[in-house]
Structure 1
Amino acid sequence: MSSLWRLNKYLYKYKGYLLLGFLFTVISNIFVIIPAQLVRVAIDYVVESFSFYQMFEQGGDAEAIRGAFLDFIFVFGVLILVMALLRGFFLFLIRQTIIVMSRHIEYDLKNEIFEHYQKLPLSFYRQNSTGDLMARITEDVGRVRMYFGPALMYGLNLLVLFPLVIGYMLTVNVPLTIYSLLPLPVLSVSIYIVNNMINERSEKIQRSLSELSTFVQESFSGIRVLKAFVREEDSSQNFAAASENYKDKSISLTKVQALFFPLIMGLIGVSTIVTVYVGGMQVIEGAIGYGVIAEFILYVNMLTWPVTSLGWITSIVQRAAASQTRINEFLDEKNPIQSTEDLTSPITGGIHFDKVSFVYPDSGIKALKDITFSIEKGDSLAVIGTTGSGKSTIANLLMRMYDASTGDIAIDGHDIKAYDISHLRDNIGYVPQDVFLFSDSISNNIGFGLDHIPQEVVEQAARDADVYQNIKDFPAGFDTRLGERGITLSGGQKQRVSIARAIAKDPSILLLDDCLSAVDTKTENVILNALKGIMQGRTSIVISHRVSSAKLANKIIVLDDGVVVEEGSHEELMEQKGTYAELYEKQTQAGESMEN
């Protein structure tokens, strides 16, 4: 329960709903007790009145007396009906307060988790799967909502109804109260055991359903690969096996659930029999009237569901506590990447790396080793290297996705850690190596970096990235909606849309992280020529394994295994006949071979 205590802030926030729900619970239970008392009075009145009526049956007043009796019974019936309607009305109000409160708390908790997720560093997402992140914000929050909704509602009802009903039963007849309530603890324990069995099987079903959903999602996302390798039949067989597993677990749950209501009805029957037997003996002895037996049977039925729900409530609370523990694990995660001064001064783009080293915290891989370089404001730098040389790590450090393990990074003479993080990233136009486009229109994808962006700016960015004509060729043009992860577009088109997205925000620093890897040589040359104009007047870093991209930059550094092995202009590096010259010759010869 300790994990759930931190959610008390929400109960305080919605205390109005909670207090009203408690008040309505008390009132509704009062209207539960009164009808049972009316039934007792009505039955006793009928029994006594029938004997009285028999005395006057032969007289002339028999019809008048009979009519008076029936009128009296009718009044009792109307009163009981009115009590039932009033109880129903207040039950409606209980749900409109307690359940509505739980929905508000669910909404707040989901927003709190999602907002916290977005504040966490990139390392957090490398260490946790997307499925697990989604499960905690959906399934786990749903279980916590059950704690604040049904569990709290029925728990309050139990706390109010028990003292009212049992207290009144004891004032009427102590022995009959004890005997009539004997089966209820057995019922509660039995339901608790059955509920645990149901929950255990439900957990297995949930995991099976999650695996089934993941399989289907991957099959649909990779449908091109499935068709290309003619694996449709194999995929169908795997799906059938996963479905069979899900079906078996569902049937197993159904068998346990079949015990639920027979168990309840059986123990209610036992309690009713005990009440009738003990009450009948007391009626024979003249200790009570017939109406008391009927009243106690009604009370036993009133208490049955609250007692039954006790096991169910306990199970809900346990599941909610387990889920909140999982949620708290992520909510307790802290982002070590913080701004030291929240600096928001204009960024012009002077960049300096001073003996920067970096080790990835999750894998322990040392990506950079004491690298030092500078870029003047408005200048351009190409970072060239093979796969795994540490090129993309420079981009991650400059975007403050990570902080350097050792060394310093400065922008415009200020430590990068001094800048407000959002302000820093707003001033960097980032084109990642792995392009991600949202399932939205092309126009909204290009304008993603700003809140409100004019259409003409979007179109100009598309022209600069050499994707304008491709977009116009679509029937819906810029309003074309992309499929999941931009599947509507080719690889090259996706990368050019990603470039247009970076350009559209008019950044001070342009950061291109191997963004031309999916385009052919001809398209690469067109984009490079377009980028020459875009890069004028702004600091630009071009990260690539292709030496052809280096022609954009005034200065080139060559990375190998996280170390700067060469530095200079294209001509200077070619004269050195080192790593860069070797890469240039290999890639040039490979390009010529492909053309031939």
Structure 2
Amino acid sequence: MQDHFFLPKIYPVKALKYLNKYLWKYKWYLILGILFTIISNLFGIIPAQLVRYALDLVIETLDIYYLFNGVSLQSEIYDIFAFSILLYGLLILLMALLKGIFLFLVRQTIIVMSRHIEFALKNDIYQHYQTLPASFFRKHSTGDLMARISEDVSNVRIYVGPALMYGINLLVLFVLVITYMVSVSPQLTFYVLLPLPVLSISVYVVNSMIMKRSQEIQKQLSALSTYVQEAFSGIRVIKSFVQEKHSFENFEKEAEIFKDKSLNLTKVDAFFYPVIIMLIGFSNILIIYVGGQEIISGRLTPGNITEFILYVNMLTWPVMALGWTTSQIQRAASSQTRINEFLNEKTTLVSEKNLVTQLEGGIRFQNVNFVYPDSGIQALQNFDLEIKPGETVAILGTTGSGKSTLAHLLCRLYDPTGGQILVDNVPMKDYDVHAYRRQIGYVPQDVFLFSDSIQNNVRFGTVDMPFERIEQAVKDADLYNNVKDFPQGYDTVLGERGITLSGGQKQRLSIARAIARDPKILVLDDCLSAVDTNTENIILNNMKRIMDQRTSVIISHRVSSAKLADKIVVLDEGKIIEQGTHAALMELNGAYKELYEKQLIAEEV
């Protein structure tokens, strides 16, 4: 539909039922908020009645005042009149002050409640994200995950905060004001309320347009931000290829789209307020016209008309807020639907018996098959392998042979789609997931370091790790001399994703992080690809002592990484094509020997 067709997509409000548990948790904020709203509106209505009494008093007193013209009693009448007007003025001022105090309390309850709900909801979403398997994060982008925990939660907060507050205020004010207006003059009340539904519908329609265009602006701003972030992240590549001008032209195009969308929103905003003022003015004209006739007929006083005008102005903002509130409820329903979509995702990596025990390190793959759920790619086929406790096994193979999949399965980031993995002759699924992972040291192929100090990156996950163990792990990973050369040493804070370090330094720090926790099973997933052969030899010689009495799985595409292995396994398209010791595989004169000789020639060259 086009913008001018007005009607936005309607989202099921039942999605917001999820928030009921939070509203119940903070029910006293809500109950007090409703109570304070009622009291503040009472103090808002009373001044209109005081104005009526004051105006009628002025009209009546003036007639009496002129009646006693030239008589000494006239000055006494004036004094009584002046005192009465002053009293009414002070009472109106007092009512305004009390209304302000209770409005403050309304915000201190309902708005504070919304902040508590926002905090609790964000925590619950983040905690739930952490329980989900790796397959979930392969399917959904980081930007989408962040949008749901930030922008969508903010939309929900506006619903349980300002939108709820204005909704309650409108309901209370309508009940109080309309009841009193009808008791004074049902006919005038009808004419007064005639333009208000039109006003509310107009506000809803315009707000829907504003919301749609605001979302388009937000989307474009996100695209613009992504482009800028990518451009500055890759600034070295842009400069190397002399693409500054081209990069700026692309930025200019994105910024132009953002400007056009912003101007479209401004046009709607410019149309919004004149329409509202016109409808309010029309309502006031009806009051004066119909009310004037009522005064002539003697059924109403001028004070009643003034009172009605004040009531109309009182109702104007809440009625305007009705359109805004309806839009916000729709927006919140849309956001909560998106949030619920992820909250309804359940992890498949559950333990059947929740065993918590010290591992020996024996691993057996029994007819294991694995198909990636998102892509449908079969990474492993009928995979059988036994690794004894304390044994070092090297898994070799070309890209796409299924090496990294084995690492993911060993860390139980995924479960096999067929067959089973036994650890110490117990199915892996029987172990408590977290207790099992705490005994695994994993060095991923794609190294990720946190924007923190070097020592905090090494001790990651183990708060009470002694400094001596951190230092030893750094030495074993051949990173000690690099750390020593940094001005802040171990307290050197790394940039985003460890950008302060070179590729090889990042890999070595990742190795230090894995071995520092003294794991029972060590999994190295092609973690030496970014270091030279000499550094690789130093690290592997250091690792020889570390791997002693520890089950180790070295995954690599480089034959040199397999020199410490007790057993070498060669993979191709998810199947074992060769396995044995280095000498035995060389005698086979097969795939391993071919790979070995190719890499040996490449190193000599």
Look up the match of 1:366.
378
Look up the match of 1:520.
532
Are 1:574 and 2:589 counterparts? no
Are 1:449 and 1:504, in contact at CA under 8 Å, matched by a contact in 2?
Answer: no
Look up the match of 1:46.
58
Are 1:358 and 1:367, in contact at CA under 8 Å, matched by a contact in 2?
Answer: yes
Name which of 360, 377, 387 aligns with 2:389: 377
Look up the match of 1:248.
260
Over the matched positions of the two proteins, sequence identity in percent amounts to 62
Name which of 10, 24, 28 aligns with 1:16: 28
Look up the match of 1:107.
119
Name which of 550, 553, 571 aligns with 1:538: 550
The alpha carbon displacement at 1:276 in A equals 1.0
- Cα deviation 1:181-217 (Å, max 9, x = unaligned): 1111110111111011101101110110110111111
Look up the match of 1:456.
468
Superposed CA RMSD = 0.9
The alpha carbon displacement at 1:346 in A equals 0.5
- 5 Å-filtered alignment, 1:180-259, equals 180-259=192-271
Helix, strand or coil for the counterpart of 1:558? Answer: strand
Counterpart-to-counterpart distance in 1, 2:228 and 2:59: 69
The alpha carbon displacement at 1:375 in A equals 1.2
- 5 Å-filtered alignment, 1:125-144, equals 125-144=137-156
- Cα deviation 1:287-330 (Å, max 9, x = unaligned): 21110010000000011111111111110001111111111111
Are 1:345 and 2:357 counterparts? yes
Look up the match of 1:261.
273
Are 1:98 and 1:153, in contact at CA under 8 Å, matched by a contact in 2?
Answer: yes
TM-score (norm 1): 0.98
- Cα deviation 1:139-176 (Å, max 9, x = unaligned): 11111111101110000011111011001000011111
The alpha carbon displacement at 1:542 in A equals 0.3
The alpha carbon displacement at 1:451 in A equals 2.5
Tell me the amino acid that sits aligned with residue 220 of structure 2.
S
Name which of 14, 20, 40 aligns with 1:28: 40
Counterpart-to-counterpart distance in 1, 2:198 and 2:577: 78
Helix, strand or coil for the counterpart of 1:258? Answer: helix
Look up the match of 2:9.
none
- 5 Å-filtered alignment, 1:442-481, equals 442-481=454-493
The alpha carbon displacement at 1:61 in A equals 2.4
Counterpart-to-counterpart distance in 2, 1:476 and 1:236: 37
Counterpart-to-counterpart distance in 2, 1:540 and 1:189: 69
Name which of 121, 125, 129 aligns with 1:117: 129
Counterpart-to-counterpart distance in 1, 2:481 and 2:229: 33
Helix, strand or coil for the counterpart of 1:69? Answer: helix
The alpha carbon displacement at 1:379 in A equals 1.1
Tell me the amino acid that sits aligned with residue 319 of structure 1.
R
Look up the match of 1:490.
502
Tell me the amino acid that sits aligned with residue 251 of structure 1.
L
Helix, strand or coil for the counterpart of 2:451? Answer: coil
Are 1:397 and 2:412 counterparts? no
The alpha carbon displacement at 1:224 in A equals 2.0
The alpha carbon displacement at 1:265 in A equals 1.2
Counterpart-to-counterpart distance in 1, 2:280 and 2:447: 63
Look up the match of 1:294.
306
Counterpart-to-counterpart distance in 2, 1:552 and 1:240: 56
Counterpart-to-counterpart distance in 2, 1:482 and 1:194: 49
- Cα deviation 1:438-470 (Å, max 9, x = unaligned): 111111111113122222221111011000110
- Cα deviation 1:316-372 (Å, max 9, x = unaligned): 001111111111111111111110111101112111111111111111111111111
Name which of 283, 306, 309 aligns with 1:271: 283
Helix, strand or coil for the counterpart of 1:6? Answer: helix
Counterpart-to-counterpart distance in 2, 1:552 and 1:109: 50
Look up the match of 1:419.
431
How many residue pairs were aligned?
593
Are 1:18 and 1:101, in contact at CA under 8 Å, matched by a contact in 2?
Answer: yes
Counterpart-to-counterpart distance in 2, 1:223 and 1:484: 15
Look up the match of 2:87.
75
Name which of 319, 322, 332 aligns with 2:344: 332
Name which of 15, 37, 41 aligns with 1:3: 15
The alpha carbon displacement at 1:64 in A equals 2.3
Counterpart-to-counterpart distance in 1, 2:30 and 2:287: 36
Counterpart-to-counterpart distance in 1, 2:329 and 2:340: 16
Tell me the amino acid that sits aligned with residue 457 of structure 1.
R
Helix, strand or coil for the counterpart of 2:442? Answer: strand
The alpha carbon displacement at 1:63 in A equals 2.0
Helix, strand or coil for the counterpart of 1:362? Answer: coil
| Deviating 4+ runs (over 3 angstroms) | none
Look up the match of 1:65.
77
Are 1:449 and 1:502, in contact at CA under 8 Å, matched by a contact in 2?
Answer: no
- Cα deviation 1:230-269 (Å, max 9, x = unaligned): 2122111111111111111011101101122212111111
The alpha carbon displacement at 1:525 in A equals 1.0
Are 1:356 and 1:406, in contact at CA under 8 Å, matched by a contact in 2?
Answer: yes
Look up the match of 1:529.
541
Helix, strand or coil for the counterpart of 1:306? Answer: helix
Q: Could you tell me which runs of 5 or more consecutive residues in structure 2 were left unpaired when the two chains were aligned.
A: 1-12
Are 1:449 and 1:501, in contact at CA under 8 Å, matched by a contact in 2?
Answer: no
Counterpart-to-counterpart distance in 2, 1:405 and 1:527: 35
Name which of 440, 452, 471 aligns with 2:452: 440
Counterpart-to-counterpart distance in 1, 2:287 and 2:564: 93
The alpha carbon displacement at 1:510 in A equals 0.6
- Cα deviation 1:414-455 (Å, max 9, x = unaligned): 100001110111000000000000111111111113122222
Look up the match of 2:6.
none
Name which of 315, 340, 349 aligns with 2:327: 315
Tell me the amino acid that sits aligned with residue 134 of structure 1.
M
Counterpart-to-counterpart distance in 2, 1:178 and 1:305: 19
The alpha carbon displacement at 1:552 in A equals 1.5
- Cα deviation 1:534-565 (Å, max 9, x = unaligned): 11111100000000000111111100111101
Look up the match of 1:85.
97
- Cα deviation 1:80-132 (Å, max 9, x = unaligned): 00000100110000000101111111111111111111111111111111111
